[in-house]
Structure 1
Amino acid sequence: MTQLLEVSGVSVTFDGFRAINNLSFSIGPAELRAIIGPNGAGKTTFMDIVTGKTRPDEGRVLWGAKLQSLLSMSEAQIARAGVGRKFQRPTVFEDQTVADNLMMALKAARGPLAVLFWSPKSADHARVAELAEEVGLGDSLSRKSGELSHGQKQWLEIGMLLAQEPQLLLVDEPAAGMTLAEREHTTRLLVDLAKTRAVVVVEHDMEFVRRLNCKVTVLHEGAVLAEGTLDHVTRNPQVIDVYLGRSER
């Protein structure tokens, strides 16, 4: 099976601390994957490397059917190549409407002149409405983003990422701070998105991961400790020792 993202032998050290240690794993082109692990396991550093924020000391990060090296690209080039990242705290333009936020995020020419003379066409408005409907904000297009609940802001930011037409979405702790209803909606949204693109979810909430019903990768000390279904990895004695706690035996 062709992989969308292949991380091979990647290591990175910060001030003598090895944050990523010979990390190797791959993500398929339409796959939902959860990444779990204790604090300091390397989850954030992994996302930083894939998005170009951090350069590893060694290893390869290959992308797409042509196996391009992401390590030779800038952060902006990686984003344009199809890698989108959602941080834990939503970052939306709160004084702008939901529609305006989505419109600003649409994939379009971004040069100085192109931006200066660009005006939305009917197809752009239709795409904005489609994105809002996809993330569950179809009835909120005219609302200011600052009026949205925490969960709704998370969905809006996911919609803004989708406007860039990514092939891979990296999503950091999407369930944090959400109500039960918002968590259920977010679960359905991520599962649906993974039918047409790769979605990688970094999460601590085991119940949320269970609801995703996907392959799980456990990181520890910057390397893959275990991989498989949630039931499989949570029965692994090493995972219990380093992450779940001996009391769960």
Structure 2
Amino acid sequence: MSNLLEVSGVSVTFDGFRAINNLSFQIGSAELRAIIGPNGAGKTTFMDIVTGKTKPDEGRVLWGEKSVSLLKMNEAKIAQAGVGRKFQKPTVFEDQSVQENLLMALKKPRGWLAVLGYRANSEDLDKVAQLADEIGLKDALSRKSGELSHGQKQWLEIGMLLAQEPQLLLVDEPAAGMTLAEREHTTDILVEAAKTRAVVVVEHDMEFVRRLNCKVTVLHEGSVLAEGSLDHVTSNQDVIDVYLGR
């Protein structure tokens, strides 16, 4: 399996602080990966680099079968190329229904005229119904998004990202603030999504990471400290010293 994303030798410094230090990371085209590490390990900066929010001082970030450089693209172009990102705080249109939120997110021509003249056809409505089923909101399609629970808003936002058909989904601490049942359902959504695309989950919650049952990358001081199964990395003495031993 070829790599979808290949980060190699990437470093970035902010005001003399090296946030990312000679980082290398690869992920395949249908793979689930968890990234863990202490605060300040570079997890958010890593996502900022992949999405074009931050440009590194050195290194390469290659994308897709043709190994195109993401560093030559701006944030919008990277998103169009197939990189989707979900931040910690869900951002949904609270006054719109679940269905309307998902319809707005569908991958469509996005010119002004297309948006102004947009009417959902049956194909779009079917797609949205299928997405709602995948994220567990099938029975909430007509509800206003503002009425949803915190966990349901998170699922809706994941659904809105999936509607854009990304090849890589970056998800930041999805389990934060969720009930146990919501967290279990979130695991199911992410595991299912990773069957057809790459999904990277940045998370602090070890129980949540264990349930994802995937390869884990541990970051520390901006580079990879260990990589492998959760059992493998959590028995690594360096990982215990810098992260788990606290």
Equivalent residue, structure 2, for 1:143: 143
Equivalent residue, structure 2, for 1:73: 73
Equivalent residue, structure 2, for 1:238: 238
- The root-mean-square deviation of aligned C-alpha atoms, in Å, is 0.8
Q: Distance in 2 between matches of 1:161 and 1:190?
A: 12
Deviates more, 1:88-97 or 1:115-124: 115-124
TM-score, normalisation: structure 2: 0.99
3-state SS of 2:139 partner: coil
The reply on whether 1:97 has 2:106 as its aligned counterpart is no
Equivalent residue, structure 2, for 1:191: 191
The reply on whether 1:15 has 2:23 as its aligned counterpart is no
User: Where do residues 44-193 of structure 1 align in structure 2 (5 Å cutoff)?
Assistant: 44-193=44-193
For structure 2, the residue ranges without an aligned partner over 5 or more in a row are none
Equivalent residue, structure 2, for 1:5: 5
Aligned-pair identity (%): 83
Residue 115 of structure 1 and its aligned partner are, at CA, apart by 1.6
Residue 236 of structure 1 and its aligned partner are, at CA, apart by 0.6
Give the counterpart letter for 1:238 in structure 2.
D
Give the counterpart letter for 1:185 in structure 2.
H
TM-score, normalisation: structure 1: 0.97
Residue 122 of structure 1 and its aligned partner are, at CA, apart by 1.1
Residue 118 of structure 1 and its aligned partner are, at CA, apart by 2.2
For structure 1, the residue ranges without an aligned partner over 5 or more in a row are none
Q: Distance in 2 between matches of 1:54 and 1:92?
A: 24
Q: Distance in 2 between matches of 1:92 and 1:116?
A: 20
Q: Distance in 2 between matches of 1:192 and 1:127?
A: 16
Aligned residue pairs: how many?
246
3-state SS of 2:140 partner: coil
Equivalent residue, structure 2, for 1:211: 211
Give deviations 1:111-145, integer Å, cap 9, x for gaps.
12222222211111111111111110000000000
Give deviations 1:159-203, integer Å, cap 9, x for gaps.
000110001000000000000100110111111111111000000
Give the counterpart letter for 2:241 in structure 1.
D
Q: Distance in 2 between matches of 1:140 and 1:118?
A: 23
3-state SS of 1:126 partner: helix
Give the counterpart letter for 2:155 in structure 1.
W
